[in-house]
Amino acid sequence: MNVLLTGVTGYIGGRMLPVLLDEGHTVYACVRDKLRFPPQYRDHPNLRIVEVDFMNPDFSTLPSDIDAAYYLIHSMTTSLTHFDEAEERQARSFTEYMNHTRVRQVIYLSGITAGEHLSQHLSSRKRVGEILAGGNYALTILRAAIISGAGSASFEIMYDLVDKLPVMIGPDSLNNECQPIGVVNVVYYLKEVLLNEATFGQTFDIGGPEILTYRKMLEIIAEVRHLKRRIYTVNWISARLAAHWFYFITSASYKLAVNLSDSMKNNVICQENRIRELIPQPLLTFRQTVEMALEKIASDNVLTSWKDSFSSSGLNYKLSQHWKVPEHGVQTYEVSRDVAVSRDEVLRRIWETGGTHGWWYANWLWKARGLLDLFDKGVGMRGRTNKEELSPGDALDFWRVLIADKLGGRLLLYAEMVMPGQGWLDFQLTEKNGKLVLTQKATFRPHGWKGRLYWLSTMPLHHFIFHGMIRKLTTPASLVK
């Protein structure tokens, strides 16, 4: 059958794509930017890539012979106050488009929205469901609380808190209850409701086998990691103060931290469990999902991560808008050096840059820049999903990968840190006079006098860092001091 899948570059959508392809469906994968599509699936015979932005859709480019569709779009990290307006607009556009197709079913993954005083995030999720319900098709809604698994925003925030804080003092909301569900269970439910007529026009709460407090989940992560942690709660820490705590300690963006912290004021527990009889499966405990996630992280096998979506930066642009580095009206700093190691070795080093490995030279300065970015409500040092491989669209600390071409010997990064201008960092391998040469070039397009002052103030650091970095990248390890 023909299945339309939105949110392909997101956490859940990225996991649904291989599942649907393995099931033999023809998948119309909707992305805002074709360059960000996962490269490992591009040549699949049952795949059709569709470039569309449901904020301003062009329906003429969209297919009409659709049997079912997954709505996995959200905008929680695009704004602190108006993301619900963006979500409404996208839902209305999607519904209008669906009404011009032959689609029989739309499947929507929402949040558990029980209670009267919902957070803005949960209220928006509920409103999107109401809009989608107005279409000329059968709507199936699956409502989940925290989705636990390697790469999920909620799990990584809790993981970072446990990893970095021996003693935690948090808000009373840590004692609120939640019914977390493993990502593998979520994906199975999403697969099994597809054109299952028993689910048409139905809303199901999906959750794991346990009801836990947020505090207990943190304690379980600590136990699995064999870490001793003390957690205290006080009533004077507001949701906004807690958000700052999450933001500075974890890899969450400021907007995500604020909206998730606000959502913690609600108990998110399944109100019914009908789907367990309709679609039976072994439900993983939270401890089991943590153990599985840690195995994935240790083996560098995290399939999708929230940080690689543009939601981790709160920015909205196409990679193609920036992959051509400007040459006029810019400031540049460039260093080149003959490579004294093999081509494969220098490429390996370049591709392992950032994240837990670091930036090869004066890593404390890179961390300091990331900390400054956090104080400016930027992305900070987000890390990276895969320790060895990079693809266009991947997050790399406070950069975004634009080009990752090992065959051509080029890695191009675009700056997502807060600064008065735009920045690019380019690594290129070339041959000159029979020798392999690595060129490392920073390009900055300043915005006004503040941008020019910023560049001038960082010039000494560029000189210090770049020369040390390129020496580490190109010199045999035994000769590097």
What mean pLDDT comes out for the span 20-45?
A: 88
Residues linked to residue 73 through DSSP beta bridges, in sequence order: none
Helix axes 153-164, 214-224, angle to 10 degrees: 60
DSSP state string for 128-175? HHHHHTTSSSEEEEEEESPEESTT-HHHHHHHHHHHH-SEEEEEGGGG
pLDDT at 79 over 50: no
- Residue 237: what pLDDT? 78
Kindly report the average pLDDT of the chain as a whole number: 87
Round to whole Å and give the CA distance between 456 and 54.
41
Helices then strands, counting H and E runs in the chain, come out as 13, 19
pLDDT at 309 over 70: no
pLDDT at 304 over 80: no
pLDDT at 310 over 80: no
The residue among 299 and 6 whose pLDDT is bigger is: 6
- Residue 32: what pLDDT? 84
The residue among 426 and 373 whose pLDDT is bigger is: 426
What mean pLDDT comes out for the span 200-228?
A: 95
- Which pTM was predicted? 0.81
Q: Report pLDDT digits (tens) over 242-277.
A: 777 777 777 666 677 776 777 777 788 999 999 999
Least confident of 26-30, 88-92, 305-309, 442-446: 305-309
Provide the token pair at 94.
């999607």
pLDDT at 481 over 90: no
What mean pLDDT comes out for the span 30-44?
A: 83
- Residue 83: what pLDDT? 65
Sheet with 331-338, edge to edge strand ranges: 331-338, 435-446, 421-432, 410-415, 399-405, 395-396
Query: How remote is the C-alpha of 22 from its chain's centroid?
Result: 24
Round to whole Å and give the CA distance between 16 and 193.
13
What mean pLDDT comes out for the span 373-399?
A: 86
pLDDT at 76 over 70: no
Task: Characterize 443-454 residue by residue with b for buried, 16 or more Cβ atoms within 10 angstroms of its Cβ, and e for exposed.
Answer: bbbbeeeebeeb
Q: Among the ranges 295-299, 389-393, 406-410, which has the highest mean pLDDT value?
A: 406-410
What mean pLDDT comes out for the span 411-439?
A: 93
The residue among 78 and 226 whose pLDDT is bigger is: 226
> If DSSP codes are grouped into helix, strand and coil, which group holds residue 259?
helix
pLDDT band at 286 (very low <50, low <70, confident <90, very high): very high
Residue entry with tokens 């040390």? 468
Round to whole Å and give the CA distance between 146 and 111.
8
Residues linked to residue 437 through DSSP beta bridges, in sequence order: 338, 430
Round to whole Å and give the CA distance between 300 and 316.
28
